Amino acid sequence: MKGEKTWSQEGANRYATLTSPAPDKMVSLYRTVDVPAGVKALELSWKQRITGLKKGKMPWFDARIMMDWHDAGGKKIGTPSPSFTQKDTDGWVDRSKSFLVPEGAVTLVLMPSLFQVTTGTFDIDDMVLKPTDPEILYAQQRDREEAERMRHVDFEEPKKDKWPQPLKVVGNRLQDPSGKEVWLQGVNPGGLETLPQDKQVLKSTVVALDEWKANCLRLPMNETFWFGRSPMQKDGGKEYRERIDQIITLTANRGGYLVLDLHRFRAPKQEHADFWKDAAERYKNHPAVIFDLFNEPYGIDWKVWRDGGFVPNQGKITDESAFLSDEERKKIQGFESVGMQALLDAVRSTGAKNLVVVGGLTWSSDLRGIVDGYALDDRGGNGIIYGWHIYNWHKDWEKLMLAVAMKHPILVGETGADTKKMDFIPHEAQEAPQTWVPDMLGFIQKHKLNWTGWCFHPGASPVMISDWKYTPTPWGAMAKEALAGKQFELKRTR
């Protein structure tokens, strides 16, 4: 080996070193190993040390060991999932990976690689491949197959005779065309805001509606995945959009409402208005679809919130800005927000009269500006619901929202409390769900606020479920009781 692939030595120990010579270059070793006849499973073990690693342009451009199975004719017949590392290790670390041998495989190709990284060094030592007991791997395979079976939801065609009636705002309530008041209650089935290929959300939709008795789901998603601009997507967003179509159909076929949540933060940009023009055209006047225009604005004032304007970046601007052009300096200093009214206007420009949800300031926890002259103009639509997010560290419930609730419908789009405290909030500020949740549900019920709990996903705190068997957490158990009709006593507000 030479150049970017060398033998290195420390004392008496000799090991292989891969070094990235330049950004976007592939550096790899290649070794073909015969698989002994009759072997059902193999374990690969090695030591590695990774230093100075900066990933490349794609999320998978990192340090990894890739593998291919080949049959007796040299044809590639399978690929074990790679072992990858995306940051420096703390010196030498031991790694191992076990995998089943597919039928017909006679060789395994091993390819330790720096896969088009920006910079980095990958040291590899003591690589050993040996047979291992396949029974644990067979059991894991059965578990995966069972999880896939449990996750499966049959495709449904629209059943419009089952769909709910379109809603409109009347005073501070929601009504259908017959004048019947509708109270939206449900959950946030998370997943599509972070992973464009997420399929579990289909099952979550059905479970929330059929088993937890929700009549409304708030679906977090984003415009990058919608337009297929993620490196994880190769189809221009077609699969993502069709999955959302199916979630809407599953919801509407069960008589429920779907709040499409553009799960973004800080302040709306032009790309968010572009998204709403496209999505509103697609779901224009669908009776079950409500548009939540922007998840959580923060760090701006009410005028910029409504009308748009310059939003400065939060953080220190370096001295290098003195050498930049006016245009370059402005770009690093902040961005132009189009404002919330522009998002609503984008929706209405398509002819869509769907209800919209509009969150306030401070991560949607503060709605006071709505009654201080900053309410939006609905432009002839079916009405505006104002969104309020409230968690177990927030105070001043009445002060931040109640005056608005007297005049407008409210959707408590996110709320909840976890037994596991979150590190970005002081632990002592986070009240236990056993005491906080009953009062919050009592507050919601007393004022008949529409609500969707966060989050119907075991990996997005505060979690309502602990696993994909949809086992309720303490917070989830109380929310499930409220969805089933249990009334909670409000002992005190915060």
pLDDT, tens digit, 9 for 90 and up, residues 277-334: 999 999 999 999 999 999 999 999 999 999 999 999 876 444 444 444 566 556 668 9
Tell me the C-alpha distance between 83 and 459, whole Å. Answer: 23
Q: What are the structure tokens assigned to 256, written together?
A: 């429920």
Burial 263-290 (b: 16+ CB within 10 A, else e): bbebbbbeebbebbbbbbebbeebebbb
**DSSP label at 58?**
S
Please give the pLDDT value at position 435.
Answer: 96
Q: What are the structure tokens assigned to 152, written together?
A: 């499966």
Which residues are CB-contacts of 169 (< 8 A; sequence separation ≥ 6)? 175, 355, 382, 383, 384, 385, 408, 409
DSSP strand pairing (76-78 vs 63-70): antiparallel
- The 10s digit of each residue's pLDDT in 416-471 is 999 999 999 999 999 999 999 999 999 999 999 999 999 999 999 999 999 999 99
Query: In the predicted model, what is the mean pLDDT of the chain?
Result: 95
Mean pLDDT of the 332-350 span: 96
Provide DSSP, 440-483: HHHHHHHHT-EEEES-SSTTSSSPSBSSTT--B-HHHHHHHHHH
In the chain, the percentage of residues whose pLDDT exceeds 70 is 96
In the chain, the percentage of residues whose pLDDT exceeds 90 is 93
Among 41-50, 132-141, 326-335, where is mean pLDDT lowest?
326-335
Please give the pLDDT value at position 49.
Answer: 98
pLDDT band, residue 69 (cuts 50/70/90): very high
Burial 82-119 (b: 16+ CB within 10 A, else e): ebebeeebeeeeeeeebbbbeeebbebebbbbbbbbbb
Tell me the C-alpha distance between 319 and 304, whole Å. Answer: 28
Please give the pLDDT value at position 323.
Answer: 46
Q: Which of 356, 189, 208, 344 is nearest to 289 (CA)?
A: 356
Cα distances (Å, whole numbers) of residue 80 to 95, 137, 209, 450: 16, 13, 38, 47
Q: What are the structure tokens assigned to 333, written together?
A: 């200093």
299-304: long-range contacts, CB 8 A cutoff, minimum separation 24: 299/266, 299/267, 300/266, 300/267, 300/337, 300/361, 301/361, 302/361, 302/369, 302/372, 302/374, 303/374, 304/267, 304/337, 304/339
Q: Provide the residue type at 74 as one letter.
A: G
Q: What are the structure tokens assigned to 272, written together?
A: 């968010």
Torsion-angle region of 383 (φ positive above 0: left; ψ -120 to 50: alpha; else: beta): left
Which residues are CB-contacts of 338 (< 8 A; sequence separation ≥ 6)? 268, 269, 270, 272, 273, 308
Burial degree of 3 (CB within 10 A; 0-12, 13-18, 19+): exposed
- The 10s digit of each residue's pLDDT in 172-183 is 999 999 999 999
Dihedral pair phi/psi, residue 249, rounded to 5°: -65, -45
Q: How many helices (H) and strands (E) does the chain have?
A: 13, 25
Please give the pLDDT value at position 333.
Answer: 83
Q: Is the pLDDT of residue 397 over 70?
A: yes
Tell me the C-alpha distance between 390 and 378, whole Å. Answer: 25
Tell me the C-alpha distance between 62 and 120, whole Å. Answer: 9
Tell me the C-alpha distance between 165 and 139, whole Å. Answer: 47
- The 10s digit of each residue's pLDDT in 138-149 is 999 998 899 889
- The 10s digit of each residue's pLDDT in 198-253 is 999 999 999 999 999 999 999 999 999 999 999 999 999 999 999 999 999 999 99
Q: Is the pLDDT of residue 80 over 60?
A: yes
The CA angle 338-348-271, to the nearest 5 degrees, is 35
DSSP, collapsed to helix, strand or coil, labels residue 311 as strand
- Give me Rg for the CA atoms of the chain: 27
Mean pLDDT of the 161-185 span: 98
DSSP-assigned beta bridge partners for residue 8: 15
- All domains of the chain in start order, with CATH: 4-148 (2.60.120.260), 161-484 (3.20.20.80)
